[in-house]
Amino acid sequence: QVQLVESGGGLVQAGESLRLSCAVSGRTFSGYAMGWFRRAPGKEREFVAAISRSGGDTIYTDSMKGRFTISRDNAKNTVFLQMNSLKPEDTAVYYCAASHLGTIRLRTAPDYWGQGTQVTVSS
């Protein structure tokens, strides 16, 4: 069993920042590409960002480049999402995901999902 547990969500004002964390247990963390998705109220789940097993390659949804940064710490079995200059449109449940098959496959069919953490941005 592989478990992903997100933390760090909350209520913030527009323009503020949050750092989300996802702790992974059950398997070797370095064996997975990791990523983040989000689901806003009334909308479909959308891809946010992903990072390769080595941490050497990252991909982002174009609209989030420059504001969001994904990183990982293999010693702590944790992946992070730094979110700056938050907007009300960023309000969503944010989900951590993992894939055995790399960042490209993660965008369409992750192998594992976390339960999500709520991010609410007020105007």
Question: C-alpha distances in angstroms, 116 versus 8, 10, 21, 74, 75?
Answer: 10, 12, 11, 21, 23
Question: C-alpha distances in angstroms, 72 versus 13, 36, 39, 40?
Answer: 26, 12, 22, 24
Question: C-alpha distances in angstroms, 122 versus 1, 38, 42, 93?
Answer: 37, 17, 17, 15
Burial of 115 (0-12, 13-18, 19+ CB in 10 A): exposed
Over its length of 123 residues, how does the chain's per-residue pLDDT go in tens digits? 789 999 999 999 999 999 999 999 976 778 899 999 999 999 999 999 999 998 999 999 998 889 999 999 989 999 999 999 999 999 999 999 999 999 999 999 999 999 999 999 999
